[in-house]
Chain A
Amino acid sequence: MSCLLPDKYISTSLHKLFQNKKATRPLALITYGPTGSGKVKLYKLFWKVKSQRI
């Protein structure tokens, strides 16, 4: 069983937020939920995507 969120879901829901490389607003990513829900894996995946975009 995998608790990793697939890249495609990060892509479809969040990629668009980072398409503008000239965006001046810094990003605050809030991960929320109980221990074991996948917060850490989620933000690691998300940060990987973001670092590829900007």
Chain B
Amino acid sequence: MDSLVEAIPDYYQKIVNPDLTNEQKTSLYFDCRKQVDDLSSLVLAKAIAGRFNLIYETTGSSTAWLISDLNKIKSAGYNIVFLYPLVNWKILNERLDTRERTSPRKIDRNFLLQGVLKALSNFPGVLDYVDYAYIYDNSGSKVSILFSYDGSITETKPSRKINCFNSSLKKFIDHENVMDIIETIGTFLLCKYCNECR
């Protein structure tokens, strides 16, 4: 997505303007992003019509559009695999600091934090539309699967496997101001989909 945004005429010249604040750069990015989203919708429709395998990338900040697309994908008979790499908040910031040294795009951290929280809280609602789901700890070189889902949440299947990640969730965002929110989200996730944490 970002490569396509950067290909929009004048975007790059504007985004490197040192007089722009991070908020203004974020606004500029999403203005241009709308154009790319329109293109993305056309590509998706063509892919589904041709029954191509497809990759769908989303931040999870808002899932209304995602769920609408998932309905189209599911109706077309696709095998839907959902992958969610979860990264410790502090490490995520460090990575973005590194990325921003070579990229003109600056990510507003408060905006990002809200996106991280929304992605977590939106995650349970997506499970109803996918065949498989996996959450990975992608915070470092040692990677582990935190959560796996195999089967439809609306059906009772003995083979359904959901791993509790209540204890591991807290380590991902240890920001003191958001701990309460995270714990609420974690409890919601686990109480709805897992009895192991009770």
A37 & B55 in contact (Cβ 8 Å cutoff): no
A31 touches which one: B51, B55, B61, B99 (CB < 8 A)?
Answer: B55
**Contact-residue size bin, chain B (C-beta under 8 Å from the other chain):** 35 or more
Which B residues touch A42, using CB under 8 A?
A: 83, 85, 136, 138
Which A residues touch B36, using CB under 8 A?
A: none
- Secondary structure dominating the interface of B: mixed
The residue on B at minimum CB distance from A25 is B79
B107 & A32 in contact (Cβ 8 Å cutoff): no
- Secondary structure dominating the interface of A: mixed
Check A37/B81 contact, CB under 8 A, given A9-B143, A26-B51, A27-B54. Answer: no
Which A residues touch B99, using CB under 8 A?
A: 36
Q: List 23 A-B contacts (CB under 8 A).
A: A5-B136, A5-B143, A9-B136, A9-B144, A13-B148, A25-B77, A26-B53, A26-B78, A28-B53, A29-B55, A29-B56, A30-B66, A30-B70, A31-B83, A31-B84, A31-B85, A33-B119, A34-B116, A35-B59, A36-B87, A37-B85, A43-B55, A50-B53
Check A32/B84 contact, CB under 8 A, given A26-B53, A37-B92, A43-B57. Answer: yes
In the assembly, what is the distance between CA of A49 and CA of B161, in Å?
24
B112 & A35 in contact (Cβ 8 Å cutoff): yes
Check A26/B77 contact, CB under 8 A, given A1-B141, A36-B96, A37-B85. Answer: yes
A33 & B84 in contact (Cβ 8 Å cutoff): yes
**Contact-residue size bin, chain A (C-beta under 8 Å from the other chain):** 20 to 34
Q: Which residues of B contact A (CB under 8 A)?
A: 51-61, 66, 70, 73, 76-87, 91-92, 94-96, 99, 107, 112, 115-116, 119, 123, 126, 130, 132, 134, 136, 138, 140-141, 143-145, 148
A37 & B87 in contact (Cβ 8 Å cutoff): yes
In the assembly, what is the distance between CA of A39 and CA of B60, in Å?
12
Chain A, 1-54, CB within 8 A of any chain B CB: 1-3, 5-6, 9, 12-14, 17, 23, 25-40, 42-43, 46-47, 50
Knowing that A6-B143, A28-B56, A35-B115 touch, tell me 10 more A-B residue pairs with CB under 8 angstroms: A3-B87, A23-B79, A26-B54, A29-B83, A31-B55, A32-B60, A33-B59, A35-B59, A36-B95, A37-B85
